[in-house]
Chain A
């Protein structure tokens, strides 16, 4: 049996919007190999770079935040980002666990 996991991120997104913040929703849409969060995991980011939720175990959140900020700045609706196995030159945005994930970011408007 599978329990539906629900971390109330969408509820929080609604609260942020109510408080007149710009909100970008990030969702894990694909994973390969061992990745810390399952497909459907979510995170929200506002125009100040505050964030809640997660799309990995802390490995790529900072990169997702900056991608979300660019999305708001460029006023684009959505973007797909892929993160691959980490190596020394890209340690900041790599997955230390050796997995790969695709994250979809979209503005809530």
Chain B
């Protein structure tokens, strides 16, 4: 691989562009491929196979050839509501798991850049904050404030937009009350039951990093269930 290609790969990765690396295993030539375009030179006759690898988000060697395809897809978006202590540990865990995190918190003293360096922190109420984030059914929501004023609008937005994972922090009692409010707001049982509450798998820990670990474990597990 040429240094130039490596630099291009890193640039594409940091700008969250989807691409593939094509490598000719016989002569070592490698090339960056963007979905929807025609592969260049020696790779051109494998256009269909390369596109198929891309669609199935797989890496591998094209059958009866010496061409290796490695696809890079966009990281999964995770939106955290509440720039609280647990969120700081979630950010740490997510770094090595390739989730792209955004944090929403209208409370300025929580949502500071100093507490969350290099993370997109939106210091607004959820309704306005969601206007700044592109979301779809491959987005996850982690609600951590257990304050209905902040969490509820975010949960409602996530339910309406069919996020694949929605979790909310709070005791069983807090969650019961939350479910009741959502029912009153017109959400059906299926929707309400899709929320993971109390959030996280049962680990038994009570400290901020332990709760963060239980949340991240549940998030990863739900990601691969889909």
Residues of A near B99 (CB, < 8 A) are: 3
Among B25-72, those with CB < 8 Å from A are 25, 27-28, 30, 57-61, 68, 70-72
* Interface check A6, CB cutoff 8 A: yes
- Let me know if A104 and B72 touch, CB within 8 A: no
| Cα-based distance from A91 to B13 in the complex (angstroms) | 38
- Let me know if A1 and B59 touch, CB within 8 A: no
Residues of A near B73 (CB, < 8 A) are: 2, 4
Mask, B154-191, CB within 8 Å of A = 1, is 00000000001000000000000000000000000000
Mask, B177-207, CB within 8 Å of A = 1, is 0000000000000000000000000000000
Residue on B nearest A38 in the bound complex, by CB:
B59
Counted as pairs of residues, one from A and one from B, with CB atoms less than 8 Å apart, the total is 78
| Cα-based distance from A9 to B137 in the complex (angstroms) | 29
Residues of B near A27 (CB, < 8 A) are: 68, 70
Chain A contributes a number of interface residues (CB within 8 A of B) equal to: 28
Residues of B near A39 (CB, < 8 A) are: 58-60
- Let me know if B10 and A10 touch, CB within 8 A: yes
| Cα-based distance from A27 to B9 in the complex (angstroms) | 15
| Cα-based distance from A80 to B68 in the complex (angstroms) | 12
* Interface check A93, CB cutoff 8 A: no
- Let me know if B70 and A40 touch, CB within 8 A: yes
Overall SS of chain A's interface: mixed
Instruction: Using known A-B contacts A1-B76, A3-B76, A30-B60, determine if residue A10 contacts B98 with beta carbons closer than 8 Å.
Output: no
- Let me know if B3 and A3 touch, CB within 8 A: no
- Let me know if B223 and A3 touch, CB within 8 A: yes
* Interface check A77, CB cutoff 8 A: yes
Mask, B123-163, CB within 8 Å of A = 1, is 00000000000000010000000000000000000000000
- Which one, A11-19, A46-54, A82-90, is touching chain B? A11-19
- Let me know if A108 and B223 touch, CB within 8 A: no
Instruction: Using known A-B contacts A39-B59, A77-B28, A104-B68, determine if residue A1 contacts B98 with beta carbons closer than 8 Å.
Output: no
Residues of B near A7 (CB, < 8 A) are: 96
Instruction: Identify 10 new A-B residue pairs, CB closer than 8 A, beyond the known A5-B98, A104-B25, A106-B30.
Output: A1-B76, A1-B224, A1-B226, A3-B220, A6-B72, A10-B9, A11-B10, A40-B59, A78-B27, A106-B28
The interface of chain B, by Cβ under 8 A from chain A, is 1-3, 6-7, 9-10, 13, 23, 25, 27-28, 30, 57-61, 68, 70-76, 96-99, 138, 164, 220, 223-224, 226
